[in-house]
Amino acid sequence: SRSCSCRLQHWALLSVSLLNCLLSTACSVGLALAIALTVHSRGTHLVRGCNSSALPLDARAAIATNDCPFNTTRIYDTALALWIPSLLLAAAETVLSGRSCLVALVFRGIEPCAHGYGTQQV
Residue 82 lies in a domain: yes
Q: Is the pLDDT of residue 101 over 90?
A: no
Residue 115 lies in a domain: no
Q: Is the pLDDT of residue 59 over 80?
A: no
Residue 69 lies in a domain: yes
20 Cβ contact list (under 8 Å, min separation 6): 93, 97, 100
Residue 25 lies in a domain: yes
pLDDT band at 109 (very low <50, low <70, confident <90, very high): confident
Residue ranges making up the domain that contains 23: 1-109
Whole-model pTM? Answer: 0.69
Which of left, alpha, beta for 116 (phi over 0: left; psi -120 to 50: alpha)?
A: left
pLDDT band at 85 (very low <50, low <70, confident <90, very high): very high
Residue 14 lies in a domain: yes
Q: Distance between CA atoms of 53 and 42, rounded to whole angstroms? A: 17
Residue 27 lies in a domain: yes
**Are residues 36 and 21 in contact, defined by beta-carbon separation less than 8 angstroms?**
no
Nearest Cα neighbor of 100 from 22, 2, 36 is 22
Residue 117 lies in a domain: no
Residue 119 lies in a domain: no
Number of folded domains that form the chain: 1
Q: What is the DSSP letter of 60?
A: T
